[in-house]
Amino acid sequence: MLVVFKPLNRAMPLKTLIVDDEPIARKVLRDELVLIRDVEVIGEADSGASALKQITTRHPDLVLLDLQMPEMGGLEVVRNIRHGAHMPVIVVVTAHDKYAIEAFDAGAIDYLLKPVRTERLIEAVDRAKRVRTREAVEKLAHLQEIAGSATAPRETKVIGKLGEEFYLLSADEIFAFQAEGEIVSIITAKRKFLATQTLRLIDQRLRNLGFRRIHRNALVNLNHVRKMSALSSQRWLLTLTNNQEFVVSKRLGRSVRQILKS
């Protein structure tokens, strides 16, 4: 099982770090940010070294970064983090627009001139949100491609979502899929994940791996079936090795029985 990434969800606040060696400048930005919807200020840093440490440990989505600081300036901070695994969106804050081009070359998506105007701050935050959302969509599309590109049945992976993390799950560790309306749950030995595809598409992908539809809302891994008990002449109860039970529909009961006997 592998955690792949933590995308930014639109319902989640944009975690923001303020970096400036001047306390008043940090306070002005914080006071403005608390008024912007879906933004959470998770910390402040008064130096480049402190900024790098907090970026590494707190993983902000957005960093408002002053360029001119003693010892380590903002551009040096950007150059030190741009190849990291948790690259935040960078918006530089400067009193001189002559640094704008250099800031963009270093990896910033926008720059704000001091004193920062409210409308420009809102515009920069909105741009950061769009960048984060686009990155999440691109990563998920890439992950879907990885999961669907297996060349052998045993290599087939299924994407499961748990909180804000996406996992690549092996087919053999999945006990069943269960749908409630449009929401499909992936059931494993210890956890329940959300699926990123419909039950119909999952059924098509995994049919050759021992998964069978036992109900219009349930798909089970026959390798994890412990027993099948008769509820009536036409209805059956399927018990998996994790003791979870599923009722087999009348329409699919006969075909499931035949598969289990084979």
Residues 27 and 138 both lie in one domain: yes
Tell me which residue range forms the domain holding 31. 12-142
The band of 5, judged by pLDDT with boundaries at 50, 70 and 90, is very low
pLDDT at 73: 84
Residues 88 and 201 both lie in one domain: no
Task: State how far the alpha carbon of 138 is from the alpha carbons of 11, 13, 38, 89, in Å.
Answer: 18, 20, 22, 16
CB atoms within 10 A of CB 44: 19
The band of 3, judged by pLDDT with boundaries at 50, 70 and 90, is very low
CB half-sphere exposure, 131, CA atoms < 13 A: 18
Choose among 67, 149, 138, 69: nearest CA to 101. 67
Residues 137 and 157 both lie in one domain: no
pLDDT at 152: 41
Task: State how far the alpha carbon of 251 is from the alpha carbons of 104, 196, 255, in Å.
Answer: 62, 27, 8
Residues 135 and 42 both lie in one domain: yes
Q: Report percent pLDDT > 90 for the chain.
A: 28
Residues 17 and 44 both lie in one domain: yes
Query: Which whole number is the average pLDDT over 126-134?
Result: 81
Total domain count, the chain: 2
Residues 165 and 192 both lie in one domain: yes
Q: Mean of the per-residue pLDDT values for the chain?
A: 80
- At CA 208, angle to CA 203 and CA 213, rounded to 5? 35
Query: Which whole number is the average pLDDT over 227-231?
Result: 78
Range in 99-103, 214-218, 245-249 with the lowest mean pLDDT: 99-103
Nearest-angstrom CA–CA distance, 103 and 248:
62
pTM to 2 decimal places: 0.52
Nearest-angstrom CA–CA distance, 19 and 26:
7
**Within-domain flag for 74:** yes
**Within-domain flag for 4:** no
pLDDT at 205: 84
Residues 114 and 183 both lie in one domain: no
